[in-house]
């Protein structure tokens, strides 16, 4: 094959292609921040918060320094700490379990649904009952993760949390832009945590995050906690907080990217459709749930068995097709968290899925030819 006929590289994420149509606005926005000198919580942060809330259909948005800090601030606002049980899916990113431990609370790992990979409601109820029967911990919160962009079953989670008098926290780090029954993620739970890590559906050029909620008092508390617990003035300290503020330059970047959300979500959905059409008869493709619109933060397929994943990885590597594994080990098996799961039942779905999951490139700038090349590589030795 000649150099001119060499196929174009397939980026797993393509932030350069995304940057091209907004480069002039990025330069203008960043220059304005440099000129103002207001690099932390500048006016762009306030502007972004208003637009995030409007987009998500939430009453309030509070910009923070990362998705992890969003989770932590939300739990701090509830006073979650020692003696409290925080229920969360075992198959997700480490931050979801890390935060309760940092606050002195205990994560209780729950298995996931084998089709959606979101928290299994029946297992959640069993584990809440087990914690109450044991009597050592207080059930205080459920963190529902909208894994890979697909909304969790929030009506059911709301019902469980209301019955058990628990805090409902939506970890929508991979799912901003997704919706359920016509209502965007951001107003389903008591609070919703967003991540603006560069590879997210709305990504900054560094770390960033936000909290969405409908309660004005809760939003005011979030703002205090992100700035060391300050009150009406900088040196009035009302409570123990943290340094969790959003940089103004990152807010400026996000303001440039926010108008791209709708066309990019449509493009991601189109790409997901191409994958499903070509792969759906050979592997388990992401579930489609009535009433749910996935943001397709990641496109993760489930291979037939654990032995097939190394073969598919090798075939993709040989064809210059990028892949990733989210996640190779469930949280309850991680060395840092194993001790917190002792005495509880196994989580067979999480353990099985982690051996067979494989994520493929998905972003708004993939074309059908590139998707075809990815699919050919996946199926080559399956």
Q: What digits encode the pLDDT tens for the residues 276-287? A: 999 999 999 999
Taking 90 as the threshold, does the pLDDT of residue 68 lie above it?
Answer: yes
Taking 50 as the threshold, does the pLDDT of residue 292 lie above it?
Answer: yes
DSSP characters over 5-23: GSPPP--SS-HHHHHGGGH
Torsion angles phi and psi, residue 94, rounded to 5: -60, -30
Do residues 97 and 88 make contact, with C-beta atoms less than 8 angstroms apart? yes
Q: Rounded to 5 degrees, what angle do the CA atoms 61, 168, 126 make?
A: 160
Domain boundaries, the chain: 19-259, 260-379
Contacts of 57 (CB under 8 A, 6+ apart): 183, 184, 186, 187
List, for residues 313-348, the tens digit of each pLDDT value: 999 999 999 999 999 999 999 999 999 987 778 899
Instruction: Say if domain 19-259 classifies as CATH 1.10.10.10.
Output: no
- Domain 260-379: which topology? 3.90.1150
Q: How confident is the model at residue 2 (pLDDT cuts 50, 70, 90)?
A: very low
Q: What is the pLDDT of residue 6?
A: 66
Neighbouring CB atoms inside 10 A of 321's CB total 24
Its pTM stands at 0.96
Structure-derived torsion over alpha carbons of residues 305, 309, 312, 317, reported in degrees to the nearest 10:
180
Contacts of 239 (CB under 8 A, 6+ apart): 224, 225, 229
């Amino acid at each position: 094959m000649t150099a001119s006929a060499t196929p174009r590289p397939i980026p797993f994420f393509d932030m350069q292609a995304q940057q091209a149509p907004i480069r002039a606005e990025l330069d203008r926005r960043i220059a304005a921040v440099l000129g103002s000198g207001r690099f932390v919580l500048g006016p762009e942060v306030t502007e972004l918060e208003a637009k995030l809330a409007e987009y998500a259909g939430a009453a309030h948005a509070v910009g923070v320094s990362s998705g992890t800090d969003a989770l932590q601030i939300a739990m701090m606002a509830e006073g979650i700490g020692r003696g409290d049980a925080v229920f969360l899916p075992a198959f997700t990113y480490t931050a979801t379990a890390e935060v309760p431990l940092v606050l002195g609370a205990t994560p209780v790992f729950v298995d996931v649904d084998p089709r959606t990979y979101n928290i299994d409601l029946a297992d959640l109820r069993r584990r809440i009952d087990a914690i109450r029967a044991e009597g050592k911990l207080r059930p205080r919160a459920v963190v529902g993760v909208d894994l890979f962009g697909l909304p969790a079953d929030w009506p059911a989670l709301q019902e469980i949390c209301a019955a058990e008098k628990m805090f409902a926290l939506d970890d929508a780090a991979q799912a901003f832009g997704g919706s359920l029954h016509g209502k965007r993620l951001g107003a389903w739970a008591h609070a919703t945590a967003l991540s603006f890590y560069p590879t997210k559906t709305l990504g900054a050029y560094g770390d960033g995050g936000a909290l969405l909620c409908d309660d004005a008092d809760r939003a005011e508390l979030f703002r205090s906690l992100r700035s060391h617990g300050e009150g009406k003035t900088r040196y009035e300290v009302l409570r123990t907080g943290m340094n969790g503020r959003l940089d103004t330059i990152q807010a400026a970047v996000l303001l440039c990217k926010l108008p791209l959300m709708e066309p990019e979500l449509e493009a991601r959905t189109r790409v997901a459709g191409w994958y499903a059409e070509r792969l759906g008869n050979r592997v388990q493709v992401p579930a489609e749930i009535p009433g749910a619109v996935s943001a397709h933060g990641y496109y993760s397929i489930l291979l037939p068995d654990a032995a097939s994943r190394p073969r598919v990885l090798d075939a993709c590597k040989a064809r210059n097709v990028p892949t990733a594994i989210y996640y190779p080990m469930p949280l309850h098996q991680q060395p840092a968290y194993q001790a917190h799961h002792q005495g509880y039942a196994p989580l067979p779905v999480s353990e099985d899925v982690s051996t067979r999951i494989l994520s493929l490139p998905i972003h708004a700038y993939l074309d059908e030819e590139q998707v075809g090349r990815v699919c050919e590589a996946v199926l080559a030795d399956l």
